Amino acid sequence: LGGGVFLVGVVGVWAGVGGGGGGEGRALAQHVVIYTGDPPALHPAILDNVKNSFGIAIDAHRVSFVYLRARVLVEPHLYPMFTMIGQSFGGFLLSLEAALRYPPHVFIDSMGYAFGYAALRWMAGAKVGCYVHYPTISGDMLQAAAALSRPTPSSSSSSSSSSS
């Protein structure tokens, strides 16, 4: 695309299964870039999801899909321990890949990979915004993790033994 086209990039790495991407950038852009980990066969389904979810029909000629190979780095199965930290670091690397492969003027995160915002701002010079349904780390997740680490009191602090 030429330098005179205003680009809005939207992260929707699971956009093909309704996981975000597309609808957030349509009003501002001359061209929308959807960063995804979904294969090209799912691209029409992504546009259908935007239409069905947001009531917005996007002209397919105004959309580019950029496949991000680093999507695997945000999949929870890679991190059986420290999942939130691993996914946050993976989101940072995913954002770096997006910034290097196809830097937009405005970057909208719809997946919750906040650790990558600085990379996009500094490396790509993009304005960064977000429209996040399910953040990588949320308050309820932190509370659940804290509850798991608290010791639970036993029903009785003394033990008894019987003698025969």
For 46-97, what is each residue's pLDDT tens digit?
888 878 877 878 888 888 899 999 989 988 899 999 988 898 899 999 989 9
Residue type at position 47: L
pTM above 0.85, yes or no: no
Question: In a 3-state reduction of DSSP, which class is residue 32?
Answer: strand
Q: What is the pLDDT of residue 152?
A: 61
